[in-house]
């Protein structure tokens, strides 16, 4: 369960980072999270795979492209053994103060398409969301560090189960 939680936190954090703007296809809406964000290399184990993973999110207006790379090394060195990419849109909701007392924003993530490349090891069954799925999360921006919701406080598969606090253990840093 811990690996699913870490994977989910990183996936959500990498795809939930823009706000709403003028309309249209969202490509001309500039948000506070415009650009590229990455997390630190993290240990990742699932099935027969023991290695590491790193997530990079790119935002252009209300569109996102999230890339999750999985390495057989423990320090994300060498070439990625496999990777998953997700494309979609984000809608920024209400501002709120969460349980830990920090300001946050609601975000809704809509997955339009995905792509997986490389050799996926036996037993790796969860690489992110599928086209048509939605995620309801929160985020907190602190300078060049971006944090997402703590899934111990809500899973986010519906607006009613959106997390109620921030996970400060997995920051994404502006690149």
pLDDT in tens, 116-156: 999 888 888 877 788 999 999 999 999 999 999 999 999 89
Q: Which domain holds residue 110?
A: 2-174
Question: Higher-confidence residue: 39 or 125?
Answer: 39
Number of domains comprising the chain: 1
Residues 8, 33: contact at Cβ < 8 Å? Answer: no
- Rounded to 10 degrees, the C-alpha dihedral 153/35/54/15 comes to 40
Mean of the per-residue pLDDT values for the chain?
85
Residues 42, 6: contact at Cβ < 8 Å? Answer: yes
Question: Higher-confidence residue: 18 or 158?
Answer: 158
Q: Mean pLDDT over residues 90-111, rounded?
A: 93
């Amino acid at each position: 369960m811990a690996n699913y939680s870490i994977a989910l936190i990183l996936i959500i954090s990498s795809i939930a980072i823009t706000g709403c703007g003028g309309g249209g296809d969202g490509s001309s809406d500039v948000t506070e999270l415009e650009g590229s964000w990455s997390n630190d290399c993290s240990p990742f184990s699932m099935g027969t795979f023991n290695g590491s993973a790193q997530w990079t999110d790119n935002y252009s207006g209300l569109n996102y492209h999230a890339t999750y790379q999985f390495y057989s090394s423990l320090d994300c060195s060498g070439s990625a053994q496999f990777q998953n990419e997700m494309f979609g849109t984000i809608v920024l909701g209400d501002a709120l103060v969460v349980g830990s007392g920090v300001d946050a924003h609601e975000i809704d993530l809509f997955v339009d398409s995905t792509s997986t490349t490389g050799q996926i090891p036996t037993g790796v069954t969860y690489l992110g969301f599928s086209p048509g799925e939605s995620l309801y999360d929160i985020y907190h921006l602190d300078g060049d560090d971006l944090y997402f919701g703590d899934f111990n406080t809500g899973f986010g598969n519906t607006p009613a189960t959106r997390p109620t606090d921030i996970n400060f253990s997995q920051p994404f840093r502006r690149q």
